[in-house]
């Protein structure tokens, strides 16, 4: 059976010289020993004079790559170990053609291409004397920056994709199960992690909704905070338990992916820059950028700018409130249609401004985080997430807090929540999947209809026209906002959990659809967990404790009840009760997070066992290489005698 191949397509500009093309092809084909990639490559001219090159790897080459990049596979004792050619018969399923999955193969090919560097012999790109190359510079990055390489894309595999889609977005039953293993072997770690999170969160919503039902049915009208206080307490505990269990689940996933143990050493991200220095850990040359410079930049540039943005968002919100009050006073009593339309001007203007501000802020945050020059991708992501989450918190939740605690208008809060929630659902479903799909269909046109998809060239023609998936960022952000509505205001708007459940059942399918049918095949990145998002979700669950308790304590119904219970109660008693309620719920939240171990025991044991074994092996190896002790003893005595003699000599000469 022929090797099943995964292809990376390189689209080269029509201006590139033939010499450069053959030079590049030779480099990619050349042996690793000769600083090449040792990959297969075929190329052909396209109709628009561009050149399309398709890079692939033989099954054997993939296995070598898996060993080089330390990809972990299941060993015959059930543990996950770095794949090792000499030992391959001990890995489960090593005879299978797809032992190295498509996403792993694409990761290997892309990494090898990234690592292709100019040697001492390469002075410039052949046929382009002006494009100079320095030894050690990445060739593909140079080609990209000089616009000779116009596109680089991992190609979809339509056969596999169809099979994958059947059990996923095409699944017409209401199930929440997803074909996780297939998703992982096709898309890799980060996408699988997102869909697992989405699925887990959606499933977790079911018991919450079931519990909420009797409350919906018995409560007399919306906005009656105190009737939902029991539900709110359970909602808070649900949120904590869900987040803690998700940590366990994500540890399980990471263990299955082979990424559970943090890598001892990570290469800097591509755009990390600075004067060449010596890395204190590896002793190798790499760009260096001192940590204090980054900290100064964060404190004195990023910090003030972000604060300014957030303060602007806050003042915009206040302006909106005052305009709205002004328009309300002017038009609310007038009954004409015109006045009703005019009445809505402030909220429309505000919504448009918020959307525009969001777009601008996103670019700004990316620019600022890029300028912070983080060495690792993970730390870049975390700093970016922090910035966006802060701003989105202000834009999405602050006005709700204002309505709740300053206006003190529960009906208005409930109405605003419902509108925000529904608008968010509609916008996201439209913008994320439908719009990109329409654009894609429009762009691809007839190409798709020819159905000669078994040829990688025609697949490349389709895939290169697709939009690039920008990563899981927006998908997590959407879930985070939704989680905020579900948890922070549960005693005002308990229906959020039902709406969230319905939305997410659709979301799983629309996100899967956009992944399979709309976007270009995304790069797979090794992923251990959901990173800073875990913290962002946990912060929501802590804030949920505070906001719900405060909402309940300031509600009329509760205060009436409270003073009836204890007729001598005064404001200070209420204060103490609030303090105790808040802190005991926070304590429960904290206790849950400590009592539920975030890593399942069997994983801890498996990893400890492996470490113990390698420690024992090391010790055996060491004692095998240890000379007989008699020899060591003599050596020590000889050295001591020598040291004593040289001391004496030193003393006599110094006298």
- State the residues that interact with a second copy by CB under 8 A: 60, 63-64, 84-86, 88-89, 95, 264-265, 280-283, 291, 546, 554, 570-572, 574-575, 578-579, 583, 601, 605, 608-609, 611-612, 615, 622, 625-627, 629, 632-633, 636, 639-640, 643
Q: Where are the beta strands (DSSP E) in 68-134?
A: 72-74, 80-82, 124-125, 128-132
Per the document, the length of the chain is: 655
Proportion of the chain in helix, strand, coil states, percent, rounded to 5: 65, 5, 25
Within 13 A of 313's CA, how many CA atoms are on the CB side? Answer: 25
- Min. distance of Cβ 616 from a second copy in angstroms? 8
> 310, 390 in Cβ contact below 8 A?
yes
Query: Of 43 and 84, which CB lies nearer to a second copy in the complex structure?
Result: 84
Query: Of 427 and 639, which CB lies nearer to a second copy in the complex structure?
Result: 639
Query: Of 45 and 263, which CB lies nearer to a second copy in the complex structure?
Result: 263
How is residue 539 written in tokens? 């912060």
Query: Of 221 and 265, which CB lies nearer to a second copy in the complex structure?
Result: 265
Dihedral (Cα; 543, 237, 601, 92), 10-degree rounding: -80
Burial of 195 from C-beta contacts in 10 A (0-12 / 13-18 / 19+): buried
How many helices (H) and strands (E) the chain has is answered by 24, 10
CA distance 513 to 36: 38
Query: Of 280 and 335, which CB lies nearer to a second copy in the complex structure?
Result: 280
- Min. distance of Cβ 314 from a second copy in angstroms? 16
The dihedral region occupied by 320, where left means phi > 0, alpha psi between -120 and 50, and beta the remainder, is alpha
- Min. distance of Cβ 206 from a second copy in angstroms? 28
Residues 6+ apart with CB under 8 A from 420: 396, 400, 485
- Min. distance of Cβ 260 from a second copy in angstroms? 16
CB atoms inside a 10 Å sphere around CB 297: 16
Query: Of 426 and 546, which CB lies nearer to a second copy in the complex structure?
Result: 546
Query: Of 445 and 627, which CB lies nearer to a second copy in the complex structure?
Result: 627
Query: Of 435 and 639, which CB lies nearer to a second copy in the complex structure?
Result: 639
Residues 6+ apart with CB under 8 A from 652: none
Query: Of 81 and 144, which CB lies nearer to a second copy in the complex structure?
Result: 81
Query: Of 280 and 445, which CB lies nearer to a second copy in the complex structure?
Result: 280
- Min. distance of Cβ 601 from a second copy in angstroms? 7
CA distance 81 to 250: 19
Angle between helices 496-513 and 473-488 (to 10 degrees): 170
CA distance 112 to 115: 5
How is residue 554 written in tokens? 């300031």
- Min. distance of Cβ 605 from a second copy in angstroms? 5
CA distance 128 to 18: 10
- Min. distance of Cβ 281 from a second copy in angstroms? 5
Of the candidates 248, 111, 259, the residue with the CA atom closest to the CA atom of residue 190: 259
How is residue 177 written in tokens? 């199960």
Of the candidates 352, 343, 354, the residue with the CA atom closest to the CA atom of residue 317: 354
- Min. distance of Cβ 571 from a second copy in angstroms? 3
- Min. distance of Cβ 67 from a second copy in angstroms? 8
> 458, 539 in Cβ contact below 8 A?
no
- Min. distance of Cβ 87 from a second copy in angstroms? 9
For residue 460, list its beta bridge partners.
Answer: none
> CA-based diameter of the chain, in Å?
114
Query: Of 73 and 184, which CB lies nearer to a second copy in the complex structure?
Result: 73
Query: Of 11 and 582, which CB lies nearer to a second copy in the complex structure?
Result: 582
- Min. distance of Cβ 188 from a second copy in angstroms? 24
- Min. distance of Cβ 195 from a second copy in angstroms? 31
> 202, 483 in Cβ contact below 8 A?
no
DSSP string, 407-428: I--HHHHHHHHHHHHHHHHHHH
User: Helices (DSSP H) in 489-600: which residue ranges?
Assistant: 496-513, 532-554, 556-565, 571-595
Query: Of 290 and 304, which CB lies nearer to a second copy in the complex structure?
Result: 290
Helix (H, G, I), strand (E, B) or coil at 56: strand
- Min. distance of Cβ 62 from a second copy in angstroms? 12
């Amino acid at each position: 059976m022929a090797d099943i191949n995964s292809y990376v397509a390189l689209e080269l500009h029509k201006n590139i010289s033939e010499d450069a093309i053959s030079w590049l092809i030779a480099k990619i084909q050349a042996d690793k020993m000769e600083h090449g990639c040792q990959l297969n490559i075929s190329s052909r001219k396209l109709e628009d004079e561009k050149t399309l090159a398709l890079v692939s790897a033989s099954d054997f080459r993939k296995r070598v790559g898996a060993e080089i990049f330390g990809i972990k596979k299941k060993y015959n004792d059930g543990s996950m170990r770095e794949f090792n050619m000499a030992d391959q018969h001990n890995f489960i399923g090593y005879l299978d053609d797809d032992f190295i999955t498509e996403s792993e193969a694409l990761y290997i090919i892309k990494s090898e291409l990234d690592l292709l560097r100019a040697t001492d012999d390469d002075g410039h790109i052949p046929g382009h004397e002006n494009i100079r190359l320095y030894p050690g510079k990445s060739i593909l990055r140079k080609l990209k920056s000089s616009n000779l390489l116009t596109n680089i894309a991992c190609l979809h595999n339509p056969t596999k994709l169809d099979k994958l889609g059947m059990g996923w977005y095409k699944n017409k039953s209401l199930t929440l199960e997803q074909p996780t293993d297939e998703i992982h072997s096709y898309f890799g770690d980060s996408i699988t992690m997102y869909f697992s999170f989405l699925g887990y969160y959606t499933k977790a919503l079911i018991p919450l909704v079931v519990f909420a039902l009797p409350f919906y049915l018995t409560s007399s009208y919306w906005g009656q905070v105190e009737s939902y206080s029991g539900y709110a307490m359970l909602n808070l505990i649900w949120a904590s338990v869900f987040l803690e269990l998700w940590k366990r689940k994500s540890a399980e996933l990471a263990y299955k992916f082979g990424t559970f143990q943090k890598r001892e050493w990570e290469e800097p991200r591509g755009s990390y820059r600075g004067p060449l220095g010596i890395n204190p850990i590896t002793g190798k040359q790499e760009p260096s950028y001192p940590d204090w410079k980054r900290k100064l930049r964060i404190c004195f540039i990023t910090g003030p700018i972000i604060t300014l943005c957030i303060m602007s968002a806050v003042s915009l919100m206040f302006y909106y409130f005052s305009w709205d009050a002004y328009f309300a006073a002017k038009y609310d009593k007038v009954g004409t249609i015109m006045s009703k339309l005019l009445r809505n001007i402030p909220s429309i203007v505000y919504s448009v401004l918020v959307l525009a501000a969001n777009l601008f802020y996103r670019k700004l945050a990316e620019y600022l985080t890029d300028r912070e020059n983080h060495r690792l991708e993970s730390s870049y992501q975390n700093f970016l997430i922090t910035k966006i989450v802060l701003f989105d918190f202000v834009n999405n939740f602050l006005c709700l807090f204002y309505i709740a605690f300053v206006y003190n208008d529960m009906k208005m809060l409930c109405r605003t929540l419902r509108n925000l929630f529904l608008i968010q659902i509609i916008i996201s479903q439209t913008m994320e999947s439908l719009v990109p799909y329409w654009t894609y269909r429009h762009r691809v046109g007839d190409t798709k209809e020819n159905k000669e998809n078994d040829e990688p060239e025609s697949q490349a023609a389709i895939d290169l026209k697709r939009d690039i998936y920008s990563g899981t960022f927006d998908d997590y952000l959407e879930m985070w906002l939704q989680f905020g509505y579900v948890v922070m205001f549960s005693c005002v708007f308990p229906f959020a959990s039902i709406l969230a459940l319905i939305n997410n059942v659709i979301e799983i399918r629309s996100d899967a659809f956009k992944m399979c049918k709309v976007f270009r095949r995304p790069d797979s990145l090794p992923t251990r967990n959901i990173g800073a998002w875990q913290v962002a979700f946990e912060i929501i669950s802590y804030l949920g404790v505070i906001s719900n308790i405060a909402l309940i304590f300031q509600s009329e119904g509760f205060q009436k009840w409270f003073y009836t219970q204890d007729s001598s109660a005064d404001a200070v008693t209420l204060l103490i009760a609030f303090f105790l309620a808040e802190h005991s719920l926070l304590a429960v939240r904290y206790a849950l997070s400590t009592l539920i171990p975030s890593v399942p025991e069997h994983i801890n044991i498996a990893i400890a066992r492996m470490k113990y074994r390698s420690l024992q092996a090391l010790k055996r190896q060491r004692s095998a290489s240890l000379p007989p002790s008699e020899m060591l003893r003599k050596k020590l005595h000889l050295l001591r005698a020598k040291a004593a003699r040289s001391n004496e000599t030193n003393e006599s000469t110094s006298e």
